[in-house]
Amino acid sequence: MLRLSAPDQGVLFVVSGPSGVGKSTLLRHVFARVPGLAFSVSATTREPRPGEKDGVEYHFVDAATYDSMVARGELLEHARVYQHGYGTPRAPVEAALRAGRSMVLDIDTQGAAQVRVSYPAAVGVFILPPVVGALEDRLRRRGTDSEEVIARRVRQADLQLSGASDYDYLVLNDEISVASALLEGIFLAELCRRGRRQSWLNLVTRGAVRAVRDPTGT
C-alpha cells in the first residue's frame, strides 16, 4: 500500500457500473493500494444471508425502521431493488469525510443521482464493459444465476449504461490491469486536489518563511 497522509477533507467516491462489469475486482485493487479508504455500509430491509453480519455487509433493518430513515432524511440515497429497500446512512459518511477519511459507495445510477443532489462534491466513476455483450458472457461464466436472472441483469445493464454520461470519470474494463491502474490513478489524483491539500501548502509555505527570516538555519 502507498504511504499517503489523509487529506484535509475526505473524498466521497461513487462507483457505478452494470452487474458483471468487474467493479468488485477493480475496487479490491484500489483498496489494496490506496490508504484511507472505507466502504460505506448500506442499510437494507432484506434478510441476512448465511455468514453475513449486521453492521459488516449491511445494516439489517425492518421495513418500518427503513421508512422512518427515509422520511427523516437520514439516507444519502435510497432505492427499492427487487422488493427490498437499500440506502446509504448519511451520518457515518459525513463524519468520516470531516475526519479526512474517504468513503466509497458502490451504488447504481439511480442512487448516484441522489448523491449528486445532496453532496455535489462527490466524485463519480462509471465502469464500462468493452462491449455490452461482454456482460452477458461474464454473467454466464460465473454460473451463479438462472437464465431469468441473467436476462433481468442484462436489461438493467442497459439502463445503467444510459446514465454513464453523468459521471466525472469513465473507466473501460477491457483489460483488468489497465482498468485497475486507471481507477487507482483517479482516486489518487482526487485525493491530491489542491482544495483537499491546503495543509501541505501551509506546511511548505511556513517552512519557506522561516528560511527567509533565518537563512543560516540557526
Domain annotation covers residue 78 = no
Query: Cβ distance 170 to 124 under 8 Å?
Result: no
HEC string for 22-82: CHHHHHHHHHHHCCCEEECCCEECCCCCCCCCECCCEEECCHHHHHHHHHCCCEEEEEEEC
Query: Cβ distance 179 to 173 under 8 Å?
Result: yes
pLDDT > 90 in the chain, percent: 71
Buried (b) or exposed (e) across 15-25, using 16+ Cβ within 10 A? bbbbbbbbbee
Number of domains into which the chain is organized: 1
Q: Residue 135: is its pLDDT beyond 80?
A: no
Domain annotation covers residue 5 = no
Domain annotation covers residue 47 = no
Domain annotation covers residue 143 = yes
pLDDT at 156: 79
- Percent of the chain that is helix, strand, coil (3-state, to 5): 45, 20, 35
Q: Round the average pLDDT of the chain to a whole number and report it.
A: 90
Distances (CA, A) of 117 to 8, 97, 124, 209: 23, 17, 12, 42
Q: Residue 215: is its pLDDT beyond 70?
A: no
pLDDT grade for 136, boundaries at 50, 70 and 90: confident
Domain containing residue 157? 12-40+101-213
pLDDT tens, residue by residue, 42-56: 999 999 999 999 999
On the 0-12 / 13-18 / 19+ scale of CB atoms within 10 A, 62 is exposed
pLDDT tens, residue by residue, 98-133: 999 999 999 999 999 999 998 999 999 999 998 877
pLDDT at 128: 95
The residue whose grid cell reads 427503513 is 66
Q: Residue 31: is its pLDDT beyond 90?
A: yes
CATH of the domain at 183: 3.40.50.300
Domain annotation covers residue 86 = no
Domain annotation covers residue 141 = yes
Domain annotation covers residue 69 = no
CA dist., res. 64 & res. 135, Å (int): 36
Q: In the chain, what is the straight-line distance between the N-terminal and C-terminal CA atoms, in Å?
A: 38
Domain annotation covers residue 62 = no
Tell me the one-letter amino acid at 180.
S
